[in-house]
Amino acid sequence: MTSNLSLTLRVLVSLLSLALMGTEASARSADKLSPFDGVRWGTDERPEVDIAGEWYAFESIDGVACDEILAAIDERWPGQRDKRFAEDLMEVLEILGSAPRTTASVHGRRLSDGVAVTLEHVPNTTSKRQALRATRNARRATPVAPSEISRDAARADVAVFAREFAARFAYLEWRGIDFDDSVAKLLLQLEEAPDPLPTKELANALTAIVAPFGDGHASVSGVRSMGRGALPCLLHEVDDIVIASSADRTQLLAPDHPRVLAIDGREIESWIDSQRAFINAGSEHYVRRQALRALREINDVRDLMGMRTSGSATLTLASLTDVADTRDVELTLVSRRATYGTWPPRPLHHVTEMNTGQRIGTLSIPAMDADLVDAMHDVLTALADCDAWIIDVRGNGGGSRAHLLGLAPYLLAPGATPLVGNIAAYRLHPDRDDDHLVARFMVRSDTPELTAEQRAAIDRAARSFKPEWTPPAEKFSAWHYLLLDRKNADARTFHFTGPVALLTDAGCFSATDIFVGALTVLDAVEVIGAPTGGGSARSQTFTLPRSGLSVRCASMASFRPDGRLYDGRGIEVDIPVRVTAEDHLIDSDTGMAQHDAVRARAIERLEERLAERR
C-alpha cells in the first residue's frame, strides 16, 4: 500500500469516527432557521406547528409537501423525525431543492376550526430554531408522562390504545393472541387499581400486552427512570452463563469469581425470567440480552418482583471452573446505569497480511448511517486488492438500508441477475399511502420504473415465496420487494470476487437484520458469530392523550425470500462462535477488545476458503 493511500485511509477513518460520535463529516450549508414557534406530533404521526400562537396541522412549506419532507428525513436520518423536523428543516428543504428564505409560505389546517390556511411571509429565524431545540432538550431532561394518572384517565387511554393498536399493528393476527381479551382483562384490573394509578404501572401493563406479539421494535415509553438505583457494573452472557464486568469494561468485577449465580439470594435465571413478560417475545438470545440490560435498573426490577428496594445489591459470584467456589460482593447502587455502548470497539478499516502473502480487508459498520455510505465506498475502493473481506456489523442497531444498497453491487457480477433480499407488506391504514415503504427501498411488482430484469426477478421470487404466516389480504397492501442489483452502481463499484465473512451478534437489529438477511442470498457471504436480534417493522408511534405514553408498533410484516419472518427470529449464522469473558473486556492501552474470538474465527475460515481456491 502506498504512503498516499495510507494517508487517505487515515483521513477516511478519522472522518468516519467523527461522524459516529455525532460530529458532521462535512459542514452544513443550510442556515439554522425555523418559521415555527412550536412543534408537536399528532396521533397520526404528522407534525402540528405553532405559528404566532395558533396551532396548525402542517401540510407544506414553500410548496414542499409534508409527506416529501418526512420521507427525506426518514431516508437521511431514520428514526429522528422529531429532532430533524424541528431543528434541521432548512437542510431538508435544501436536500429537496428548495433554498431556505428569510420568510416562508406555510400551508396547513387550523386546528381550532379545521379551516385550511396558507400563511405568507412567516418570519424564518434563528431564534425560533434555537427555541425549538431548547424545548426538545428540556423535554428529554424530564419525564414525558406524569408520575400518576387517574383511573378514569387510564381507562380512557386503554380505550385509545385498543383502537389505535388494533388498527395500526401489522402482527395483530400473527400468533393467534386474543388481543381483545387482553385489553378486557386490563380494564378489569384497573377497577381494583389505586386511584390515582402510577403511570409506570399503566406502561408496564400495556407493555405486557404488546410483548407477546414478538415485534422487536414494539414499546410503550414515556416514563423515564428517575435514578432510583442502578447496578454499578455490566452483565454479559458467556457460553450460557452470566458474568459481571466493571462499568468501564476494563476488568471483571471479581477476576477469580466472574460468574454471577444470584442477586440478593435469588438465582440469576429468576431475575432474567422476571423480565420476560416485558420484553418482546423474539428469539431466546434476543430476550436474554434485553433482560440482562434491564437488570441494570435493579430497583425497578425489584418492584416488579415484589421485593423491597434498597441502596445496595449483593451478587453471589463463582469461579468459572468450580460453581461451589463462591463469594458474595455487596455493591452500592448508583443513580445512573452503566452503558454498554457499541461493542466490540474495533478499527473501522483494517488489512491483515497472511503468511501466504494474501490479504484480508476489514470494513466495520457500527451504525447504519446514510451519511457514511460515501465513506464506505472509499474504504472498499482501498480494499479492492485484498483477497477476502470481513464485513463487521456486530452491535449495529440499525438505521438506514443505504449501506446494503451500496455494498451489494460489489458482490454481484456485471450483468448478474437481480436478486430479492426482502419481501414485505404493510397494514392498510388511512395514514399510510402507496409510498409507505419507499423509505425502505421497496417496490411493488407493478412499479412502472422497473427494468425487465428486475420485474423477472420479482416474478421468480413471488412464485417461490411461501410465508410462514400469511397476513390477511383484505387488511394489507400488495407485496413489496427489496432488489439487489447493479442498476445504481457507478464507476467506483467494482466486482469483488473473493470470499466474504459477515460478523454478527445479538446486537444486530432492524436495518442490520435486513442487511445480513439480504446478503445471505449471495454465495460469497458466510455469516460468522452469533444470530442477529431479529427486527424489521417500519415501526410507527402513536401517543395516548391522557398519560402521554408513546406506543410504538410495526406497520409492516417483513420476510426473508424463503418465507421466514425477520421479527421474532433473527438471522442464523453459518459458523457459530462461542465468546469468552475477555471478549467483553476492553484493553485500556489499545482501546480495543482484549480478545476477539469471532474475528479470529473469521480469519481462520477465510484462510480455509482461500486455500480451497488455490
Number of residues that make up the chain: 614
- With a CB cutoff of 8 Å and minimum separation 6, the contacts of 461 are 420, 423, 481, 561
Q: Can you list the domains of the chain with their CATH numbers?
A: 31-141 (no CATH), 233-332 (2.30.42.10)
Judging by beta carbons within 10 Å of its beta carbon (0-12, 13-18, 19+), is residue 46 exposed, middle or buried? middle
Is residue 566 within 8 A of residue 534, CB to CB? The reply is: yes
Q: What beta strand segments (E) does 95-164 contain? A: 103-110, 116-123, 148-149
Quickly tell me which residue has 431545540 as its cell.
133
Cβ partners under 8 Å of residue 175, min gap 6 = 212, 213, 214
What pTM does this model have?
0.77
Beta bridge partners of 566: none
Helix (H) and strand (E) counts for the chain? 16, 27
Q: Distance of CA 149 to CAs 43, 170, 432, Å?
A: 19, 29, 32
Predicted confidence at residue 144, as pLDDT, reads 60
59-68 pLDDT, tens per residue?
999 999 998 9
Tens digits of residue pLDDT in 98-149: 888 888 999 998 877 778 889 988 888 888 888 888 777 655 444 467 889 9
User: Given this model, what pLDDT does residue 22 score?
Assistant: 38
pLDDT given at position 138? 54
Closest residue by Cα to residue 504 from 495, 496, 492, 513: 513
602 membership: H or E segment, kind and range: helix 597-613
- CA–CA distance, 168 with 345 (Å, rounded to integer): 38
pLDDT at 83: 87
User: What is the CB neighbour count within 10 angstroms for residue 15?
Assistant: 19
Residue tagged 485500556 (cell numbers): 588
- 91 membership: H or E segment, kind and range: helix 89-95
Whole-number pLDDT of residue 141: 45
Question: Which residues does the chain have with pLDDT short of 50?
Answer: 1-29, 140-143
Q: Please enumerate in sequence order all residues whose Cβ is within 8 A of that of 525, keeping only pairs 6 or more positions apart, or say none.
A: 411, 500, 501, 502, 519
